[in-house]
Structure 1
Amino acid sequence: MNRIDKMGGGPAELVYGDGEFHVVRAGAYVVCAVTGARIPVDELRYWNVDLQEAYATPEASLKRVLEMKSRE
């Protein structure tokens, strides 16, 4: 059995907190809110607590921050 089989092959549902996240529904990946890329849960490093969104890269995270500031 491989890593994906253990976690389920579909998307995970997470609750993002400060410096950690909690798994609501186990899965293999989450989807980047900016790029749409699949991010393996064990490789997830970037998210926004207030927006409850995951990001594939720091650049994607910055892009979302700039989008939100332009709406203010």
Structure 2
Amino acid sequence: MNFDKELDAKGLNCPLPILRCKKSLADMTTGQVLKIVATDPGAIKDFEAFAKQTGNELLSSAQAGAEFTFFMKKK
């Protein structure tokens, strides 16, 4: 998937991946896509909830071993 910016949130635990995501999205324009890589097992539920609360679109989430990859489109 194409993306405009990447956020490395590996090794960070809740709520830091969400806070860093929020900060990164603030610097982006509408329609741009942020790729987030995290290792926190709670990140899946956290990013789903974050998308619902903020209106940003969670395009996809995937797990490869202990890493989770998310693509979020800025509203």
Calculate the TM-score normalised by the size of structure 2. Answer: 0.27
Higher strand share: 2
Which of 1 and 2 has higher RCO (CA within 8 Å, sep 6+)? 2
Structure label with greater radius of gyration: 1
